[in-house]
């Protein structure tokens, strides 16, 4: 064999492979942190852009509840509204709670026992 392969007096150190490995790990970790922060910034920007739509949707839900309450009150006097409420209740779109008579509910001087707190 040649003399370059038989060189027994050279010592091997772990320094350079460890430096290469650790610097690669440090660079990879830094890139992961950067990528995650940039992705978080994009998601935050998308959420801020969607915020008016979310607020509008919650407003529509409130308006829908108020509309259904008004429809239920109207259904006590109007047969067409009663038919709409009946069909909506049958299809599961709304749930109607039984109500007390309006005169009894408004009477504050009643001697009747009050309902239990809910």
Position 44 scores a pLDDT of 97
Residue 105 inside a domain? The answer is no
For residue 18, pLDDT beyond 60: yes
For residue 95, pLDDT beyond 90: no
Position 92 scores a pLDDT of 83
Q: Answer whether 0.85 is exceeded by the pTM.
A: no
pLDDT single digits (tens) 25-67 = 999 999 999 999 999 999 999 999 999 999 998 888 888 888 8
Residue 112 inside a domain? The answer is no
Structural domains of the chain, count:
1
Task: Concatenate the DSSP letters of all residues of the chain into one string.
Answer: --TTT---SPPP-SHHHHHHHHHHHHHHHHHHHHHHHHHHHHHHHHHHHHHHHHHHHHHHHHHHHHHHHHHHHHHTT-HHHHHHHHHHHHHTS--PPP---HHHHH-TT--SPPPPP-
Residue 109 inside a domain? The answer is no
Residue 114 inside a domain? The answer is no
How many angstroms separate the CA atoms of 14 and 19, rounded?
9
Residue 34 inside a domain? The answer is yes
Q: Of 81, 77, 78, which Cα lies nearest the Cα of 94?
A: 81
Range of the domain at 72: 18-95
Residue 77 inside a domain? The answer is yes
Residue 110 inside a domain? The answer is no
For residue 74, pLDDT beyond 70: yes
Residue 39 inside a domain? The answer is yes
């Amino acid at each position: 064999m040649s003399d370059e392969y038989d060189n027994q007096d050279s010592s091997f150190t772990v320094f350079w492979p460890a430096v290469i490995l650790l610097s690669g790990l440090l660079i990879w970790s830094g890139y992961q942190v950067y990528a995650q922060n940039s992705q978080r910034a994009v998601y935050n920007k998308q959420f801020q852009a969607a915020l008016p739509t979310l607020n509008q949707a919650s407003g529509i839900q409130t308006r829908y509840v108020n509309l259904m309450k008004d429809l239920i009150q109207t259904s006590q006097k109007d047969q067409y509204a009663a038919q709409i409420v009946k069909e909506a209740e049958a299809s599961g779109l709304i749930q109607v709670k039984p109500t007390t008579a309006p005169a009894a509910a408004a009477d504050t001087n009643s001697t009747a026992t009050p309902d239990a707190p809910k």
